[in-house]
Structure formats: C-alpha cells, structure tokens
Amino acid sequence: MSIRVLLADDHNLLRQGIRRILETDSEFEVVAEASSGSQALDQAERFQPDVAILDIAMKELNGLEATLQMPRRSPKTKVLILSMYSDERYVTRAVNSGALGYLLKDSVEQDLLAAIRAVHSGQSFFSPEVARTLADNYKLNKQVEDRYDLLTTRERQIYQLLAEGKPNKEIAYMLNLSLHTVETHRIHVMEKLDVHSAAELVLSAVRRGLVS
C-alpha cells in the first residue's frame, strides 16, 4: 500500500518538483496539493493523507499553525515541515506544534523520501544540517549540570534506543525487560529531561549529538 501524501507550499514550482520526485517511486502517492495553510487543512480533512508536507511560510495560515490544527481535521496525518531555515527556534516551534520531521528545502532532493518514510512510521526526521546546528548550539550553551546527568545508566540506554525510533516492545526484547518496565523507564526519562512527546525526546537527543 502506498504512502498517501499531501503537499502544501505557496510556490508552485517547488510543489511540482516535489511531486516529480515522489512520482519516481511507486511507494508514494500525492493525493492533494495546497498553496496555503487553510487550504492544506481542508484538503487533509477531505483526503486524510498519511503524511502532510507543510511549508512554514504560507499565506492565510502558516505551516506551524496548520500543524497545530491538523489533529482535529485529520487525526492520523503525520506532519513533515518544509523550511529554508535551520535556526533552532524554528525547529523547536515545529516540534512543539506537533511535527515529526523538519526538512530543509535545499536537501529535498537528497532526503525527501527518507524523511517521508521516517515520519510515516512514526519516527522523527531532521535534515543533517539541522541536526548539526542543534548539536553545535547545545554544546555552546550547555549548562554545567545537564538534565541528562540525572538519568541512570539504564535510563540512558533506553533514551538512546527511543531516540533511534525503536518501539517499546522492541526495546523490551533487546534488553530482556518487561514491556511495563520499559514504559516506566520511558516515563522517568521524559520527566527528568522535561520533554512531553516522542518528537521532543528525539529533538533533545539530536541536540546532545546522541543521534543524527
């Protein structure tokens, strides 16, 4: 079964370029296009795509606001943000809005398909340049006492595996633990790191240079 994709960008040429990339692989199907955030939400509600690729800077309603509203209009749609900005502020806002991925426009040709696959499977994806920026900024601004230091050895191990996109059941099998134990550790990790979603957890790991 193909991954059904919604493209939303106010630049027609970019949408055409992305469509052409996706049309080269039968794994993907573009079910709708939009040129504004509000139109993207309408199309998402109508077609219920698996993944919505949303540009941040769109007229009427920007991509971040559209991301926030997406669960009400199309609950199963996962969002991949498309942007020309690698600034950490934009990445953080995107993740806090509910996006699972953040793809830079200048890396579309190289990373688009991998980004869609990752987001569709529930994993986070950040363009390599974004990951490097986050890690570099973290190193420059790292406080003496990092929250990471609060984690136990087991919690750090589970944190790493969660950040790599491993589901709880797989982690339990890998570490020979019960599913309940893994879920308990995950809760403790998120509490100690002060993160509130899987995407925020991955973002925190990218900042620390633990995953790329």
Instruction: Give domain 3-136's CATH superfamily.
Output: Response regulator (3.40.50.2300)
Give the pTM: 0.74
Q: Which segments of the chain have a pLDDT < 70?
A: 138-145, 212
Question: Residue 209's pLDDT is what?
Answer: 74
* CA–CA dist 145, 202 (Å, integer): 20
Question: Residue 144's pLDDT is what?
Answer: 41
Distances in Å between the alpha carbon of 203 and those of 10, 100, 126, 193? 27, 10, 9, 11
Q: In the numeric block, which tokens belong to residue 134?
A: 């986050």
CA 64-38-67 angle, 5° bins: 25
Q: In the numeric block, which tokens belong to residue 65?
A: 């606001």
Question: Residue 98's pLDDT is what?
Answer: 92
Question: Residue 142's pLDDT is what?
Answer: 58
> Cβ neighbours of residue 7 under 8 Å, at least 6 residues apart?
15, 18, 19, 30, 32, 33, 34, 53
Question: Residue 211's pLDDT is what?
Answer: 74
Q: Are strands 125-126 and 78-83 parallel, antiparallel or unpaired?
A: unpaired
* CA–CA dist 30, 183 (Å, integer): 36
pLDDT (tens digit per residue) in 43-87: 999 999 999 999 998 888 889 999 999 999 999 999 999 998 888
Each domain of the chain, given as residue ranges in start order, spans 3-136, 142-207
Question: Residue 118's pLDDT is what?
Answer: 94
Q: In the CATH hierarchy, which fold is given to the domain comprising 142-207?
A: Arc Repressor Mutant, subunit A (1.10.10)
Question: Residue 58's pLDDT is what?
Answer: 87
